[in-house]
Copies of this chain bind each other. A is one copy, B any other.
Amino acid sequence: MWITTLGSHCALQVLKGAKDEGFMTAVVTERRREGLYRRFGFIDDFVVVDRFGDVAKPDLQAALRERGAVMVPHGTLVSEVGVDTVEGGLDVPIFGNRRMLRWESDRNLKEKLMKEAGIRLPRSFATPEEMDGLCIVKLHGARGGLGYFLADGPGPYRRKREELEAKGLLGRDAQVFIQEYVVGVPAYLHYFYSPLHRRLEFLGAEKRYETTVDGIGRVPSSLQGELSPSYVVVGNIPLVLRESLLEDVYRMGEDFVRASQRLVPPGSIGPFCLEGVYDAEARFVAFEFSARIVAGTNLYVNGSPYSALTYGGEQVSMGRRIAMEVKEAQASGSLDSVLT
């Protein structure tokens, strides 16, 4: 049996984990990146495409189906192939509940699911006039934090917006999403829900490393001038959480799984991530979730402190955890529980 994924995001981790569990592995890679993936010994086959969107082409899908490949979805599948295609035009078994990807991609559905789960959200503002403090303005469909900006009132919002429009960075009719900026420290919480064991596992935490926002604090105030941060993710930094926060971490995760089971049956399967900040009172305020493996798990190719607590000496990355679930489902004849 094969495990495959798009060649980007967390493909190396996913395919190495699959190989460690005994699967054959294939990467669907854009031509320009084929060289990167050929460097690694744990990839058995290379499906070379011009653009990731080509994965939806009938012959390519057929080829994947023929070898019985299971596709592990990640951020690049969402951004480069798109949820319409994933839902309606990708006839390849996907690990996890593929319908969840739409709920991740649509800001209204996303908010609905988080509210259903009872997760604390930042306030959002329908119009700039309602802003009553520091806010972060997010472009609909922006990726990787590109095009986000801060403003602390309607006036600054308009000035900043006009500046971006003048530079051609923002269309005049571009829809934006205005959200309270919660001052605190960012944290990304990596979960895995096993339908086979009906069990939630917390497997790691990290913070993103974003340019330029994680660098501006190195510039003293007197020299910052009108410096305006960008939020482009370039990496991740490992983190453990205070143990007294873990009860809440699991509770949020389980509430999220149950909410997803009600709203998007059969609900979450496999990895997901709650993304937010711990505020001044150390309460977790979530501004996003991902309904699939996140790239921050790449920190833990050799396992994380949390996977060590759950799996002992075994080095269980999220990629390997996925492969373990597929393997177990296959052995017990319950692949239907983990694939859609």
Chain A residues close to B by CB (< 8 Å): 8-13, 16, 32-33, 35-36, 39-42, 76, 134, 150, 152, 181, 183-187, 205, 207, 209-230, 232-247, 250, 277-282, 295, 298-303, 305, 308-310, 312-313, 315
Contacts and interface: CB of A to CB of B under 8 A. Distances in A.
Contact of A240 (B220, B236, B279): B236
Contacts of A9: 243-244
B134 A223 contact: yes
A309 B37 CA distance: 11
Contacts of A237: 237-239
Given A205-B235, A211-B282, A313-B315, A240 B185 contact: no
Chain A interface SS verdict (over half): mixed
B183 A309 contact: no
Given A185-B214, A279-B211, A298-B305, A235 B239 contact: yes
B36 A246 contact: yes
State the number of copies, please. 3
A11 B243 CA distance: 8
Contacts of A150: 219-220, 223
B184 A212 contact: yes
Nearest to A226: B222
A253 to B, nearest CB: 11
A298 B217 contact: no
Given A278-B211, A280-B211, A305-B300, A295 B218 contact: no
Contacts of A35: 247, 250
Nearest to A233: B242
A44 to B, nearest CB: 15
Contact of A239 (B236, B246, B315): B236
Contact of A301 (B186, B224, B227, B308): B308
Given A235-B240, A237-B239, A210 B185 contact: yes
The interface centre, meaning the residue of A10, A219, A298 with most chain B CB atoms within 10 A of its CB, is A219
20 contacts: A9-B244, A10-B243, A40-B309, A76-B244, A134-B219, A134-B223, A150-B219, A216-B218, A221-B221, A222-B224, A222-B226, A234-B245, A234-B282, A240-B299, A243-B295, A243-B298, A300-B305, A301-B305, A302-B308, A313-B315
